[in-house]
Structure 1
Amino acid sequence: MSSQDVRRPASLAWDVSSATCPDAFDRYHQSMADLYDVTAEPADNDRVFISRTTVTLFANGTVGRGFSVGQTMRRTPAAIRRAGLDVINIALNFSPLVGDCGGTDVRTEPGAVQFRDMARESASHLDSVDLINVMVLREAAPAWMCDGAMHGAVMRPDTAAGRLLAGHLVVLARTAPELSREQGAAAIEAAILIAGSGAGRLIDPTADQSEAVYRTVRHRATKIIERRLLDPTLTIQAIVDGTGASRTTVFRAFGPGGVRAHVQNLRLDRARAMLRRQDGRRRTVSEVAFSHGFASAAHFSRLFRARFGHPPTEIAMPEPEGIAANESGSSEMRHGVVVDWLRDRAARLAA
């Protein structure tokens, strides 16, 4: 095993359905016992119960992506005493949520981020479970997240900080298994920093935390650029506004060359793909250059050579590629393993 593999975090995954496992919900209910008391409609001939989850374990918390059917989840005094789980939960829900946190009604729209103190009572109902879930060990969380004021707090998707935090969580969930342990821990800390900025609690980030934020900013900016790549009205300010970050943060995220160079490279990449396309029609260099926003074929050719090492007239057609089979998750639900790991980490940090 390489040293790089050793630094990878542990990850768990499962994909369970009542279509193949008739007692799937009973097993899910038992697996979730230390997290929530769960109520869901039993599966019938028209509806199949599923639980599809991935969780990656880092030193300061966990990052999870989960899908399931609609359900009500209650964090009761009995569940709190039984679990001994002391974490702060940051959840990005892609479906509406209605609930209660410590006696306060909570309603969130899709794309909102909610904070919960798992040592306090709560209840929530979701028509479907489609979420990204970060569990931060209390010992690794700042004091402002742990004083009760954030229990039930919501960052809405129509705020700059809310959009940036949601985007960061999406990138973190997607990349978590590929990150090193250090990168993953820094990315969780960066999520806390972004949340703190939205809550008016600013601190100076470390270099690793800044890079985690920049990774999210680059991802969000690239998605905006790709949607409008050939739009001549696309401006740098529109890209900045769409990320939810400041102009300075966006420019720092892209480094030398900045956003303009990134847009240019994406246009060159798409132009190259068009030249390589096998659809029975051979496009001229001039046609591709002008359709991708370049002022002239000569200018396009110079930039193309600089990026790819050869002129666009020497494009080679691609070889057919095989299709890799999808890998399925385990059929064993392992929420308990995640809870046990969090307990162990908390004990080590407290020692």
Structure 2
Amino acid sequence: MAVLTPRATPVLDFPQFRAAVNQSFVPLRVTSVRETRFRGAIRHADSTDLHVSVVEAAEHMVERTPALIAARPGGYFKVGLHLAGNGLLVQGNREVVLQPGALTLYDTARPYSLAFDGDFRSLVLMFPSRMLDLPATSVAELTASGLHEERGAATLLLPYLYALAQHPEAVTGSTGTRLARNTVDLVATVLAERLAITAGPDDPRRELFTAALQYIDDHLSSPHLDPARIAAAHFVSSRLLHGLFREHGMSVATRVRTRRLERARARLADPTHTRQSVMSVAVECGFTDAAHFSRAYRAEFGCSPSQTRAACLSTFPQTLTQGENR
């Protein structure tokens, strides 16, 4: 097939490609009218929370159905940069035509479909939805819409994604965890800009919510960070603050806990922090009790803090060695 490049190896037949899609992403139904002549390939790289794939294939359709979602709920967002060929993304009551340069967002927790009418190439980023520090209900307004208009932060994101499509392995190096986080932050900035344009300048509740989210991130190290303190910092009642967070499908306490755990995980997976003890990381992220931190961490990520640190050391042992030899 004309669109495949030497970088995208090995070339897969349809059954192999269908299996690779389901291994690389969330469970999906993959169909094609030309299975016997099908060729495709997926080149991918993983960081702690970011999965980067370059997908090249012939005509086919991908569907995230209600049954597949029920069998394995997926709390992930995908960002796609279409590089070659044509396609169509449908989610909810919106659809967007995929042509070279199209930048789109879709949510694996809701049904969607992708249809490609011929050979194509696309970059796909997949990351947990909890990594976007934006209201879920607001982000839902941007799925299956074109985000590629070159203005604001998009003028920085698009060239970066084109470069990442050439070097997806960049997210796996010793700075991969940090680069992955920066990638998602840049995506979030583009989405936040788009939401601000959609909302207009006079939306005090959205501004208050955004300010509260930022305050939480800026004060995660404080063990006294609680709803009352956050409300007081913004001169509103705790009742109003709780109601505002409920409007966006979350609670204040859950947001604080989740962001603390995410920061702790990023530190533990970062090879530049390997000489910092697990408890020191916990305290830095606002936890004062080691047992509570360990239980909360395991409940959130399915492993202990020590296991995350051990995985980092096994992947980048040279980082610790170099630090000790200085």
TM-score, length-scaled by structure 2: 0.50
Pairing 1:154–2:146 present: yes
1:44-55 alignment to 2 at 5 Å?
A: 44=36, 47=37, 49-55=38-44
Q: 2:11 is aligned with what amino acid?
A: S
Does residue 184 (structure 1) correspond to residue 176 (structure 2)? The answer is no
Q: SS where residue 180 of structure 2 aligns?
A: helix
Structure showing the higher helix proportion among its residues: 2
* Residue identity (%): 15
- Checking the alignment, whether the CA contact within 8 Å between 2:89 and 2:144 is kept in structure 1 is no
Q: Deviations over 1:211-265 (max 9, x none)?
A: xxxxxxxxxxxxxxxxxxxxxxxxxxxxxxxxxxxxxxxxxxxxxxxxxxxxxxx
1:117 CA drift (Å): 0.8
SS in 2 for 1:182: helix
Contact 2:34 2:59 in 1 (8 A): no
Q: CA deviation at 1:113?
A: 0.5
- Matched positions, count: 193
Match of 1:117 in 2: 107
Matched residue type, 1:138: S
Residue 301 of structure 2 corresponds to residue 348 of structure 1: yes
DSSP 3-state at the match of 1:200: helix
Describe the SS at the equivalent of 1:38. strand
Matches within 5 A, 1:52-131: 52-94=41-83, 95-126=85-116, 127-131=118-122
Per-residue CA distance 1:295-347 (angstroms, 9 max, x = gap): xxxxxxxxxxxxxxxxxxxxxxxxxxxxxxxxxxxxxxxxxxxxxxxxx9994
- CA distance in 2 between counterparts of 1:174 and 1:86 reads 27
Against the structure 1 CA distance between its residues 112 and 349, is the aligned structure 2 distance closer, same or farther, given a 3 Å change threshold?
farther
Distance 2:62 2:145 in 1: 17
Counterpart in the other structure of 1:166: 158
Q: In 2 relative to 1, CA 346–132 (structure 1 residues): closer, same or farther, beyond 3 Å?
A: farther
Distance 1:129 1:193 in 2: 28
Q: Distance in 2 between matches of 1:68 and 1:176?
A: 18
Amino acid at match of 2:27: L
Q: Which amino acid aligns with 2:126?
A: M
Quote the Cα distance in structure 2 between the aligned partners of 1:160 and 1:108: 22
Q: 1:89 to 1:350 in 2, by over 3 A?
A: farther
Q: Deviations over 1:116-137 (max 9, x none)?
A: 0110011121233311111121
Is the alpha carbon distance of 1:110 and 1:85 closer, same or farther for their aligned partners in structure 2, counting shifts above 3 Å?
Answer: same
RMSD: 3.5
SS of the residue 2:110 aligns to: coil
Distance in 1 (CA, whole Å) between partners of 2:155 and 2:58 is 26
State the 1:67 CA deviation.
0.8
Distance 2:28 2:298 in 1: 20
2:129 maps to 1:138: yes
Structure 2 equivalent of residue 15 of structure 1: 9
Task: After the TM superposition, list the runs of 4 or more consecutive aligned residues in structure 1 that deviate by more than 4 angstroms.
Answer: 157-163, 201-204, 344-347
Residue 52 of structure 1 and its aligned partner are, at CA, apart by: 2.0
- Which residues of structure 2 form unaligned runs of 5+? 1-6, 198-206, 215-296, 305-326
2:61 corresponds to which letter in structure 1?
T
Q: Which amino acid aligns with 1:170?
A: Y
User: How far apart, CA to CA, are the structure 1 residues paired with 2:99 and 2:151?
Assistant: 13
Q: Give the structure with higher Rg (CA).
A: 1
Write the distance in 2 (CA, Å) between the matches of 1:174 and 1:345: 35
* Counterpart code for 2:184: I
Cα separation, partners in 2 of 1:134 and 1:26, compared to 1, 3 Å: same
Tell me: CA distance 1:16–1:78, structure 2 relative to 1, closer, same or farther (3 Å). farther
TM-score under structure 1 length normalisation: 0.47
Taking the aligned partners of 1:345 and 1:115, their CA distance within structure 2 comes to 29
Q: Which runs of 5+ in 1 are unaligned?
A: 1-12, 19-23, 207-343
Contact 1:62 1:134 in 2 (8 A): yes
Q: Which residue of 2 aligns with 1:36?
A: 28
Distance 1:345 1:149 in 2: 32
The 5 A counterparts of 1:279-290 are none
Name the CA distance, whole Å, in 2 between partners of 1:82 and 1:75.
11
- Taking a change above 3 Å as real, the CA distance of residues 101 and 130 of structure 1, as seen in their structure-2 partners, is same
Verify the 8 A CA contact 1:59 1:345 in the aligned structure 2.
Answer: no
For each residue in 1:9-28, what CA deviation from the matched residue of structure 2 results, as whole angstroms up to 9, or x when unmatched? xxxx973436xxxxx21232
